[in-house]
């Protein structure tokens, strides 16, 4: 796990001030195994101002340290972007019973007769979302 000193260095490199709340939010996201909603982060950082947490999440997205995803339920979720994460396409499985969110490896996009290779090559980012019942709930 990355320590606060390394996280602080990342923030400084991107021109962000190092504040206790930025480090705390960064720490919460770095421990997460799935994208976290604002509410999830607030629950982890009890006693911290909700607005400050949202502003911090937004600043991390603006600095490209994190990304914001929406999984079809009108709730933004946040996750850190790995330094080596070149994958523009990500996949997310959401269980409709237990609401557990699982990430899966980037997908290979197959170009069919209705989609030209030029269109796919021009895309910068994408999210594939799959909903269903997970193995535990089955």
Residue-wise pLDDT for 34-78, tens only, equals 789 999 999 999 999 999 999 999 999 998 888 888 777 788 989
Q: Is 66 exposed, middle or buried (0-12, 13-18, 19+ CB in 10 A)?
A: buried
pLDDT above 90 as % of the chain:
29
- Looking at the fold, whether 111 and 46 belong to one and the same domain comes out as no
Does some domain include residue 137?
no
Does some domain include residue 104?
yes
- Looking at the fold, whether 35 and 94 belong to one and the same domain comes out as no
- Is the entire prediction scored with pTM above 0.75? no
Beta bridge partners of 89: 126
Does some domain include residue 106?
yes
Place of tokens 């709340």: 21
CA 12 to CA 15: how far, in whole Å? 5
- Looking at the fold, whether 63 and 94 belong to one and the same domain comes out as no
Q: Is 107 helix (H, G, I), strand (E, B) or coil?
A: coil
Neighbours of 14 (CB within 10 A): 13
For 73, the domain range is 4-80
């Amino acid at each position: 796990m990355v320590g606060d000193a390394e996280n602080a260095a990342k923030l400084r490199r991107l021109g962000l001030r190092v504040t206790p709340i930025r480090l705390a939010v960064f720490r919460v996201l770095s421990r997460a195994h799935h994208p976290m909603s604002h509410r999830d982060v607030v629950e982890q950082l009890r006693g911290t101002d909700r607005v400050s947490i949202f502003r911090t999440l937004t600043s991390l997205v603006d600095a490209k340290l994190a990304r914001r995803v929406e999984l079809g339920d009108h709730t933004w979720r946040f996750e850190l972007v790995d330094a080596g994460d070149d994958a523009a396409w990500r996949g997310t499985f959401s269980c409709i019973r237990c609401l557990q969110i699982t990430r899966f490896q980037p997908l290979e996009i197959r170009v069919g007769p209705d989609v030209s290779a030029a269109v796919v090559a021009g895309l910068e980012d994408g999210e594939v979302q799959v909903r269903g019942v997970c193995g535990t709930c089955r």
